Homo-oligomer: A and B are copies of this chain.
Amino acid sequence: MTPQRKEILQIFVDSEDGSHLSAEEVYELLRQKDFDFGLATVYRNLELLNELGILNKVDFGDGRTRYELSAANPQLHQHHHLICLNCKKIFEFEDDLLDNLENLISKKSDFEIVNHEVKFFGYCSDCRKRRHNEN
């Protein structure tokens, strides 16, 4: 655990729940705290923390890889991402209904599942209201 590693992880701990930060964003947040690490170091350590299972890689199709703190016990804190197609905000949905689906897939496809990533695209409550008011 180098100081760099420690501070990169601290960025995630300090960020609000459900933050999905890209390397560049972590780098910027570090600079705001006067930690002037190299960008390459940030990239290398995000990847490392991901391999250690401390961070989760997520991808919202905006051209950059993002990371989030992974729950200590994944079984207890499964969550899916709801992505608003209008305002691009990301919402979280806690759920463990996917267990059934995982079991079904394992049996039917003979595929051993160790992780999953689920994204729902649509329109959030605010954007729907706004659109309704505009009409």
Q: Which of B97, B105, B111, B122 sits near A104, CB closer than 8 Å?
A: B97
**Are B116 and A128 touching (Cβ within 8 A)?**
no
What does the 1/0 interface line of A93-135 toward B look like (CB < 8 Å)?
1010110111011001111111111111111110010000000
Contacts A59-B59, A128-B112 given: A105-B117 contact, CB under 8 Å? no
Number of interface residues of A (CB under 8 A): 37
Q: Which of B98, B117, B120 sits near A111, CB closer than 8 Å?
A: B120
A85 CA to B50 CA, complexed, in Å:
14
Q: Which residues of B contact A112 (CB under 8 A)?
A: 122-123, 128
Interface check A9, CB cutoff 8 A? no
